[in-house]
Amino acid sequence: MIHTLAISHYRSLLNLVIPLGQLNLITGPNGCGKSNLYRALRLLAETAQGGVVNALAHEGGLNSTFWAGPENITHQMKTGAHTVEGLVRQKAQRLRLGFASDEFSYAISLGLPKPSSSAFSNDPEIKRESIFFGDNYRPASSLIERENAIVKNREDRQWGMLSTQMPLYESIFSQISDPVKTPEVVTLREFIRGWRFYDHFRTDTDAPARQSHVGTRTPILSHDGHDLAAALRTIVEIGDDHALKAAIEDAFPGAKLEVFFDNTGRFSLGFFQYGLLRPLSAKELSDGTLRYLLWIAALLTPRPPPLMVLNEPETSLHPDLLPALGRLIVHASKQTQVWVVSHAPRLIEALRQSPACHEIVLEKELGQTQMVGQTLLDTPLWRWPDQAK
Ligand SMILES: Nc1ncnc2c1ncn2[C@@H]1O[C@H](COP(=O)(O)OP(=O)(O)O)[C@@H](O)[C@H]1O
Ligand SMILES: [Mg+2]
């Protein structure tokens, strides 16, 4: 489980260090930074897939994703006694992302390269990466250290040299993979690669989830949901069939789901609703019903990930379905750490029913995203490796 997430200088997240629980609910008014927080988590996940530099470029480049406010916000700026203005920058700008899990912690720091004539002189560079133990980074708790092109690992009490020529646009996760010499890199990479993000399933008439597909056993629903029928059938055969039936009964009393398959291996859905004489196919289902079935398939996965991230799962669901969706998410959170971004009151209400629900309410002050009511006491003692002395 991840118990601390830390972000610095990413969009409206100037410095945010938040403690996480088993079921995390992120709420707050429009524009407070919920999606920025979601995106920051995705960027961290991209690191382990070898794509963080590319993902940042697609967000408009590092310059546009950097915190656009002043380096320091003074007390006078907050009270309005001084206007908000940037002073001469004292330190190089760095976008930093990190987390601490029960096993290892990881932090990455990105910055712009020195000016050059290269066509890629706007590509972000990885300046620093570290794998260590705990929140409070100390050199003594560090296992892997990367500074620019140099990567070292701890060997008993000394540092061994792993590489002196690490490309600045590649993470240690894509370049270092020796399970004997650097098991922590391999373990952490597999942990991060397991994180699953679901964000706005398509349900329009041409949506992949409405088509029939050749199916194989599908313990993990794809991001576009094209394998919905096969994923539901997989739950029936090797997953929690009882929970599947309960989830359907909870949302659509009296309804029944059937997965049809022919001898060419194509899978399709049949949804029997109370009052109808024949089952409806995926093509005929309402957006809301189809989306709810997609959430069932995602959340009742027979192979739960270490972390499941749901961005505004309420989108285009009828408010009457939200309490049932909330109960489904709570059920899933018993097997996997869950992160839900939402601003739907009925979903929020349902999630709060769970004792495991850890609510994070965000607000924006002087352009900076903060956690409402956070005090030093409930802020983890996070320290960035490149700021530790
Ligand atoms: N580079 C940046 N620096 C500072 N703030 C930014 C930057 N980019 C976007 N923002 C702020 O982030 C806010 C959007 O946050 P977002 O996460 O989309 O909100 P929501 O909570 O509605 O999902 C905008 O109001 C904008 O002011
Ligand atoms: Mg948003």
Report pLDDT for 87: 64
Q: Give the Cα separation of 160 and 175 in Å (integer).
A: 16
Q: 233 near 297, Cβ under 8 Å? A: no
Report pLDDT for 323: 98
67 lines ligand 1 (CB under 6 A): yes
Q: How confident is the model at residue 156 (pLDDT cuts 50, 70, 90)?
A: confident
Report pLDDT for 89: 67
- Looking at the CA of 32, which ligand is closest? 1
Domain boundaries, the chain: 2-19+37-193+373-387, 204-304
Distance of CA 185 to the CA centre of its chain: 19
Give the CA radius of gyration of the chain.
Answer: 23
pLDDT higher than threshold 70 for residue 342: yes
Residue 39 CA, closest ligand 1 atom number: 17
Q: Give the Cα separation of 2 and 113 in Å (integer).
A: 31
Residues ≥6 apart with Cβ < 8 Å to 46: 52, 54, 55
- Looking at the CA of 312, which ligand is closest? 2
Report pLDDT for 60: 86
pLDDT higher than threshold 70 for residue 210: yes
pLDDT digits (tens, 9 = 90+) for 70-90: 877 777 777 777 777 766 666
φ, ψ (nearest 5 deg) of residue 332: -65, -30
CA of 24 to the centre of ligand 2 (A): 16
- pTM: predicted TM-score of the whole model, two decimal places: 0.93
Return the minimum-mean-pLDDT range out of 150-154, 175-179, 288-292. 175-179
Return the minimum-mean-pLDDT range out of 85-94, 120-129, 199-208. 85-94
User: For a pocket test of ligand 1, which of 8, 10, 11 has the largest count of ligand atoms closer than 8 A to its C-beta?
Assistant: 11
Cα torsion 277, 283, 286, 288: sign: positive
Secondary structure element (H or E) that encloses residue 292, with its range = helix 287-299
Highest mean pLDDT of the ranges 47-51, 177-181, 273-277, 326-330: 326-330
pLDDT higher than threshold 70 for residue 29: yes
Q: Tokens for 35?
A: 């999606």
Report pLDDT for 9: 96
Report pLDDT for 90: 66
Q: pLDDT averaged over the chain?
A: 93
- Looking at the CA of 68, which ligand is closest? 1
CA of 12 to the centre of ligand 1 (A): 5
9 lines ligand 1 (CB under 6 A): no
Q: Tokens for 7?
A: 């972000």
pLDDT digits (tens, 9 = 90+) for 285-324: 999 999 999 999 999 999 999 999 999 999 989 999 999 9
Report pLDDT for 131: 97
Q: Please give the average per-residue pLDDT across 277-281, as a whole number.
A: 94
39 lines ligand 1 (CB under 6 A): no
93 lines ligand 1 (CB under 6 A): no
Percent of the chain clearing pLDDT 90 (strictly above)? 79
Q: Please give the average per-residue pLDDT across 156-163, as a whole number.
A: 92
pLDDT higher than threshold 80 for residue 252: yes
CA of 34 to the centre of ligand 2 (A): 6
